[in-house]
Structure 1
Amino acid sequence: MGRLVLAIKDLVTKFDLRTFKPDGDWIYTWSWIRTRDEPISAAQYLKFAESDLSEGESERHLVNALTNAKRALHLRMEDVCLGFGFASFGERRSFPRMVEFLSKVGVTAPRILNRLNQLRNQVEHEYLAPHRSEVETFIDVTSLFAASTQRWINRQPSDIEINQDVIIEGQTITLKAMAFDWERARAHLHFISRRGNAQWEQETLAFQCPSEDFFRCARLALENEW
């Protein structure tokens, strides 16, 4: 008895992103993330923090410097999170929730951001005056975070041409492209297949945040972009 040949719509439902390994050169087109520059931008808050620190080392200077650096960090985190679909992640924009989201998307590792949050909590909730070295570290890491995320703000993956064959239950279909609707927090995988001399068949898989497959698509897009 011959092997049962499944239709493409049945094959794509069996596609497992957890086992998918990118191959070949992916061709990207990009969008961008809107950042808030008014009334005060993240870059301006960072400059305020640096000015506070340069003007003195009193507890007032150190607390003000840390507070302004924290505002810069939060503003940049919120902009990046919203640009990658955070509104569909649920709950309010708490610092831990944003750290979790950025980690899931693949924008940054959470460890350093959690460490900064501990220092921020000590000042805001335990009323402890920070040391100058701690404030300098906070400002430096916030600057690095702003610089590293600028890449995705200017070059946010939008549509990716892939053209990679995948084998599902012994049959080969082609993952043609990956596309993102970041505003609605959706990822789409477009597949094509051809049976002999028949016309090309097409099928699409869609993933919505906060599904794990949505985050897998986002990480693949960011990790495979050079």
Structure 2
Amino acid sequence: MVSIDKYHGMRWVSSSSEVLEFDGVISPELYLKFAKRDFREDDGLRSLANAVSNAKRSLHLQSELLSDALGIKLIMPRGQISFPKRIGFLRDCGVVGGAILNKLNSIRNTVEHDYIVPDAVVVQDFIDVVELFVAASERLVRSFPSMADVQYECCLDDAPVVGTVIFPPGEGKIYLYSHQTNKVIREELRTMDVDEWQKKHSIKISPQNHEYYGWVKWLIGAHI
């Protein structure tokens, strides 16, 4: 498989992005607003319980939206994917820093039990950490790096030429495309969509390959 480490001084010269869409009418940001409003109401256990529930909804929806777009279903295609697996996948993809994710995991364990309401200090901390997570990842939701035309200073001898990196949200594949000069291959463009044609003639990397995560981290870091 092709590692991004084989290319030195890689940068993109043009790019396109997509907005990640979620099912439903309530966004992670809106759930977070609900949580803050619940907490401010200061109506004892009812307010705290509602605040925790809405903060969890915000956290789970944001992590689901991002991990699905980044391709988690390609490696976990069956059944419901647990929150810890989603967070682990997001860490591997470099979506947010380890410090935020570690704090998130730690405090989430405190508020996880469905029938125990934490005290106000813990609830406030939980809302704050969820807000950090949503804010740190929101740029990726609003501008997902689905394609980049790239240049680089040099590459290792065994590295293929790469001109475009294609990353359709939800597919779980990185496509490394280089300009095709073969007349027979280019003739296919008469009957094929150009995007599908480029993907057909690209090197494909999926989350089963550890190289995938290096490309994803570069795309996210270079774009954001």
Do these two structures clear the TM 0.5 threshold for a shared fold by scoring above it? yes
Higher helix share: 2
Inter-partner Cα distance in structure 2 for 1:173 and 1:215: 18
Q: Higher strand proportion, which one?
A: 1
Give the whole-Å Cα distance in 1 for the aligned partners of 2:215 and 2:11: 17
Moved more, 42-51 or 19-28: 19-28
Q: Distance in 2 between matches of 1:16 and 1:51?
A: 46
CA contact (8 A) 1:122 1:128 kept: no
**Letter of the 1:55 counterpart:** E
Which residue in 2 is equivalent to 1:27?
Answer: 14
Structure of greater relative contact order (alpha carbons < 8 Å, 6+ residues apart) = 2
| Correspondent of 2:144 among 156, 177, 180 | 156
Query: Residues 58-207 of structure 1 correspond to what in structure 2 (within 5 A)?
Result: 58-90=44-76, 92-125=80-113, 128-164=116-152, 165-168=154-157, 174-191=161-178, 204-207=202-205
Deviations 1:86-119 (A, max 9, x none): 2113163211101111112221134433433443
CA shift at 1:208, angstroms? 1.5
Deviation at 1:77, TM superposition (A): 1.1
Q: What SS is found at the alignment partner of 2:151?
A: strand
Provide Cα deviations, 1:137-161, integer angstroms capped at 9, x if missing partner. Answer: 2212222322222211221111111
Match of 2:176, as an amino acid?
L
Aligned residue for 1:216? 214
Contact 2:100-2:132 at 8 Å conserved across structures = no
Structure 1, unaligned runs of 5 or more: 1-12, 195-201
Superposition RMSD on alpha carbons, in Å? 2.8
Aligned identity (percent) is: 27
Change in 2 beyond 3 A, CA 1:21/1:133: farther
SS at match of 1:45: helix
**Alpha carbons of 1:187 and 1:131: their partners in 2 closer, same or farther (altered >3 Å)?**
same
Mean CA deviation greater in 120-129 or 158-167: 120-129
Aligned length: 203
Q: More displaced, 185-194 or 142-151? A: 185-194
Q: Which 5+ residue runs of structure 2 have no aligned equivalent?
A: 182-197
Write the distance in 2 (CA, Å) between the matches of 1:53 and 1:101: 30
8 A contact 1:160–1:178 mirrored in 2:
yes
Q: Displacement of 1:29 after TM fit?
A: 1.2
Deviation at 1:74, TM superposition (A): 0.6
Residues 186 and 207 in structure 1, CA contact (< 8 A), matched pair in contact too: yes
Match among 32, 35, 39 for residue 53 of structure 1: 39
| Structure label with greater radius of gyration | 1
Once residues 102 and 57 of structure 2 are traced to their aligned partners in structure 1, the CA distance between those partners, rounded to angstroms, is 15
